[in-house]
Structure 1
């Protein structure tokens, strides 16, 4: 009985891309003892962009996260598996280059604007919706979220 051999790094990356998995790498430094972990996501060629990034406020409750998660999953696997970032007091940190950004709240939109280069923002579709806390309290905020998700779904090929 022969053991299957390990896939080459190029083959592994191609398989992950086919499955829709975006590999994340440390930018570098000694945070985890990993030196030269590879290129950052922002340094990736334009063909290696993630489809969608969701920007949420830091400190959202579990109920708010569940509401957002259900809404995203309702629009298919691309939205359900979208990268989720939280904008805190120190901003967003590293933001991956994406074709689409779904931003929950004006403060998070400002934080995204501070982190992204102008060329990336000009090329991306950025949809601003109400903060998750407003979604729980205001039916109009839910309608605006649904409209924003429909717009993203059309551009992501969901119809």
Structure 2
């Protein structure tokens, strides 16, 4: 008696792949968490990234990949662009990552002194420099490692 398998299953078996199937007896509902998305340190978000306005797609892709490489806290960090009117409303965070001196100055203008003294503010090169310079990439990597160590301690 020959078994007639669908094409997909035959191909998977030919490649040596064992297909797994999820066995579900019923539907499960997951309640939404009662705690807010901010961490416990006074309603702060873990990290905020300050970028210059008008970054190219390559620059934004490079920054996004670098941030995702250091885990969910930096990968999901809020990203703000400095425009002509400044930053606008800046969330209170445990750490700020400013790409370029102009962005760090804009952040300094918007944040109260108490928030600045409590937060870790890291200045790295502008995304255009990170894209073209190996030294700037090294400095970005070291800054992200420092942020990761600080967030692990907290």
Q: TM-score normalized by structure 1?
A: 0.72
Q: Does 1:81 align with 2:76?
A: yes
- CA RMSD of superposed structures (Å): 2.1
Give the counterpart of 1:14 among 28, 31, 34: 34
| Cα separation, 2, equivalents of 1:131 and 1:88 | 15
Segments ≥4 residues shifted beyond 3 Å: none
Give the counterpart of 1:52 among 36, 41, 47: 47
User: What do residues 10-37 of structure 1 show as CA deviations (whole Å, max 9, x unaligned)?
Assistant: xx5725x3xxx35xxxxxxxxxxxxxxx
* Distance change (3 Å), C-alpha of 1:130 and 1:13: same
| Cα separation, 2, equivalents of 1:128 and 1:113 | 12
1:122 aligned residue: 117
For structure 1, which runs of at least 5 residues remain unmatched after alignment? 1-6, 23-44
User: What do residues 97-125 of structure 1 show as CA deviations (whole Å, max 9, x unaligned)?
Assistant: 00100010000000000000000000000
Larger radius of gyration: 2
For structure 2, which runs of at least 5 residues remain unmatched after alignment? 1-30
1:25 aligned residue: none
| Cα separation, 2, equivalents of 1:74 and 1:100 | 17
- Matched residues, number: 124
Q: TM-score normalized by structure 2?
A: 0.75
